[in-house]
A and B are shown apart, each in its own frame.
Chain A
Amino acid sequence: MITHNVITVLIALLISISSAAQADDQLNQVDYPLISVPKGHYTLYIPDNNFFKLGYLEKKVSFDSIIHIGKFEVSNRLWNLCFKLNGCNRPVMMREGETLDSPVVRVNWHDAYGFSKWYSSYTNKSYRLPTEEEWVYAAYLGKDHRNIEIQYDYSDLNKIREISKKTMPLGSFKENALGFSDYQGNVWEWTLTCWYASEEKKLKEYSSAELNTPQACTTRIVQGENRSHIPDFIMDTYSGGCATLEPAANLGFRLVLEEN
């Protein structure tokens, strides 16, 4: 009986060592590259639209330190590592033709938040979702972002995108001047920023710590090809009946590394 127990423990130990080694290998494969955005300031134009008017609220935003934002959205490969190490509650759900190098999609805000917590723990660094202010600053380079579309060279990919909601491998939608990829691909990205009905709250400054909790609010801002507000448990969006502008084809996310 004792021998049997010893063998069982040894096997478990070997499996554990093997899993750890495998995970280390996987980590090497799923490095999450970051781009540093210089400190600065700009005006965030928040759509102040309703049934009767179109307009923007103007919010002055300044960054006193460098921001480190993911060059890409989080990939299926990275999400699967999280799942394998029990940090995420399910494996990725890929459609035919999608690969592990595509962004993970069909995730709600809680999934993205949970992943950021797991990845922080795994890397012993502090990762979180970007605020809308950070996202827009990095995407539009601090320029006036009203009524413009980022001038990416979609070339043939645009045609593919028009006929398919399927994700493309990371980097398929080219880079902006800072080197960020896929900011306006067919994945819209969750942010930390809460949606509020009141103008006062829309313009109020919230720290990332205030927003980086599920208790902060129930509807979050999503950024991408367009901007929207989506209840935090939604994993897919769609256009139904008398619905939105161009809906998000997919919901995904990228991360920010906090310096401290």
Chain B
Amino acid sequence: MKTSMLVLFFYCFTPAWAAAPVDTNIAGASLIGGAFNLINNTGKQVTERDYQDKYMLVFFGFTNCPSVCPLGLSRMAKALKKIDNFEDKITPLFITVDPERDTPERMTLYLEQYHSYFVGLTGSDAQLEQVSTAYRAYSFKSQDPNSDSYSFDHSSMIYFMDKEGRYITHFSNQITVDEMSSIIRKNIEEK
């Protein structure tokens, strides 16, 4: 393991594991997703049932995230804007991994930069761990030993879920905005 690589890694920090779009036939697909009980960015308690009349795009991140989250959310917003009246068909969800700093108010301000229709979700540590496990996502808090500063190592794919909350596919930073919107549109039109 080369030290130089490690330094590069932790300078940039957030690993962005993801994959090219795949069909729902991947092994383990049925294990992705599930019930959750969280607080949205207006302060209301919500569950997965509140979003089951529409498709969902789900992203795990935090508002202090320096690069991967802005990139992912920006691409989500651009892809959605290419779909006519997406607000009637899809709910984009941002689930924080940093409930300490990401209050509902802070998430509202943050998400409005991308689109006012984005929904921020937070909750207790246990609630967030439960939803993270359900989506087979991960996060890890890194505390600066010399200050109060901290950051997160977290997975960064965008999950595309159907109206019943079942996994369809996921998107990485590798896929173009046009490809992402095309896959979303195709699935919505076919169902």
Query: Hey, which bits of chain A sit against chain B, CB under 8 A?
Result: 47, 49-54, 89-90, 108-111, 113-114, 145-149, 195, 197, 214, 218-219, 226-246
Contact = CB atoms under 8 A, between A and B. Distances in A.
Nearest to B5: A245
Contacts of A148: 1
Contacts of B138: 195, 197, 218-219, 229, 231
A242 B5 contact: no
Nearest to A115: B27
Interface residues of B, number: 51
Interface string B12-23: 111111111010
Contacts of B22: 235
A89 B22 CA distance: 14
Interface stretch (B46-54, B84-92, B143-151, B182-190): B143-151
Given A52-B142, A146-B1, A231-B136, A238 B9 contact: no
Contacts of A51: 10, 13, 142, 144, 150-151, 153
Contacts of B172: 236, 238, 240
Contacts, number: 145
Contact of A244 (B16, B27, B137): B16
Interface of B: 1-3, 5-10, 12-20, 22, 25-29, 31-32, 66-68, 71, 133, 136-146, 149-151, 153, 155, 157, 172-174
A110 B133 CA distance: 16
Contacts of A227: 1
B32 A233 contact: yes
B86 to A, nearest CB: 24
Interface centre among B1, B12, B139 (most CB of A within 10 A): B1
A232 B28 CA distance: 8
Contact of B28 (A52, A110, A145): A110
B14 A243 contact: yes
B29 A233 contact: yes
Interface centre among B9, B143, B149, B173 (most CB of A within 10 A): B9
B18 A238 contact: yes
Contacts of B29: 233
A198 B168 CA distance: 31
Contacts of B15: 228, 243-244
B6 A49 contact: yes
Interface class of chain A by DSSP: loop
A242 B19 contact: no
A149 B157 CA distance: 30
Nearest to A147: B3
Contacts of B151: 50-51
A110 B27 contact: yes
Contacts of A240: 16, 18, 68, 71, 172-174
A89 B23 CA distance: 12
A140 to B, nearest CB: 11
Given A235-B19, A238-B18, A240-B172, 8 more contacts: A50-B143, A52-B145, A52-B146, A54-B6, A232-B136, A236-B20, A236-B172, A241-B67
Interface centre among B6, B13, B27, B157 (most CB of A within 10 A): B27
18 contacts: A47-B1, A47-B6, A50-B142, A50-B151, A52-B149, A54-B7, A89-B25, A111-B27, A146-B1, A149-B1, A214-B31, A218-B133, A226-B1, A231-B155, A233-B29, A234-B17, A240-B172, A241-B16
Contact of A236 (B1, B8, B10, B19): B19
